[in-house]
Amino acid sequence: MNKNLVSIIMPAFNSSSTIGKSIESVINQDYKDWELIIADDDSKDNTKEIIELYSKKDSRIKPIYSKKNGGPAKSRNLAIENASGNFIAFLDSDDMWIESKLRKTLNLAENNKDVCIFYTGFRRISSDGNKVGSYIGVPEEITYKKLLGGNIIATSTVLIRKELFPNIYMKDTYYDDFDCWLRILKKTGIGIGLDEDLMRYSVLDNSISRNKLYSAMQVWKAYRNLEKLNLLDSFKYFTLYTIAGLIKYRKF
């Protein structure tokens, strides 16, 4: 395992309109010791051609092509299985990093060597890139119980120290990322946040995450089916999650 290498996990499916900018945001990082593992989930547009174009220009970009669509969790797991770095970072194929993102989160990790998971603040951006939303900050620390009350960890901001949690994987569930962060925190104790604007989260017009009722139902299922919480605790954390969501989405 390369101690300084960051393995960046990028699932992709029909991402031809956005993936180029996502890849460019990795190439433009001022920290250069990385590999970008892109797991294409049997895209039907020209996503594969775009990935190939970049991978031929930069050997750090390593594509994996699935022959059958399996969903984002499967794609992330496939990329993780092929990762060589001690650090695992996530970047979705419609999101982008600010150029100092890796360097600053790695500096945070260097100063907190007993911590496994790190995350940062971010802003939403419209699908056409013309509208940038309000800054969404993060707390300095998060625990398992606090995260149950509101998922403040955006996937494309995450950095994980693999040596402290080697068995990183995503379950095939709607909130595969939320479930993963909860498992990590349950075992390792706390995560540490960097309250700086280091990521752009794309809000696509047809994104299912914008369906708040459906999302809320999936959070409830996560409490009951994945975390095995009793009804009282489920209601408590669901109420906290709902309040946090209303605050989070009060502005674009």
For 99-114, write each residue's pLDDT tens digit: 999 999 999 999 999 9
Q: Could you say which of 3.40.50.150, 3.40.50.300, 3.90.550.10, 3.40.190.10 is the CATH number of the domain covering 2-206?
A: 3.90.550.10
pLDDT at 1: 63
Write down the mean pLDDT value for the chain. Answer: 93
Taking alpha carbons only, the member of 221, 251, 213 closest to residue 237 is: 221
Pairing of strands 2-12, 85-90: parallel
Q: What is the mean pLDDT of residues 3-22?
A: 96
Q: Encode pLDDT of 229-252 as tens digits.
A: 999 999 999 999 989 888 777 777
Residue identified by tokens 């990082």 is 29
Cα separation of 166 and 3, whole Å?
A: 13
Percent of the chain with pLDDT over 70: 97
- Domain residue spans of the chain: 2-206
User: What are the residues whose beta carbons fall under 8 Å from the beta carbon of 198, sequence distance 6 or more?
Assistant: 97, 98, 100, 101, 104, 105, 120, 121, 122, 157
**Is residue 206's pLDDT more than 70?**
no
CB atoms within 10 A of CB 147: 20
Higher-pLDDT residue of 214, 145: 145
The DSSP annotation for 22-40 comes to: HHHHHHT-S---EEEEEEE
Output the pTM of the full model. 0.94
